[in-house]
Amino acid sequence: MDIKGKLKETTGKATGNDRLKHEGQAEQAVDKLKDAAGAVTEKVKDVLKSDK
């Protein structure tokens, strides 16, 4: 989980700063995409190893 992004989002919500809130949400989305890409990469590696 992206703690920094969540902190920015929460701070933005608490202070009424929409830019900060959206920046935090964007950082969390990027982190989720990176995690998903990493999982796919590992799955592909596993499949390729099992074919040998």
Q: What is the pLDDT of residue 52?
A: 64
CB-count burial class (<10 Å; 0-12, 13-18, 19+) for 8: buried
Q: What is the pLDDT of residue 2?
A: 82
Q: What is the pLDDT of residue 50?
A: 87
What digits encode the pLDDT tens for the residues 1-52?
Answer: 689 999 999 999 999 999 999 999 999 999 999 999 999 999 999 999 987 6
For the record, the structure tokens of 7 come out as 């902190």
Q: What is the pLDDT of residue 29?
A: 97
> Can you say whether the dihedral through the CA atoms of 7, 13, 16, 17 is positive or negative?
positive
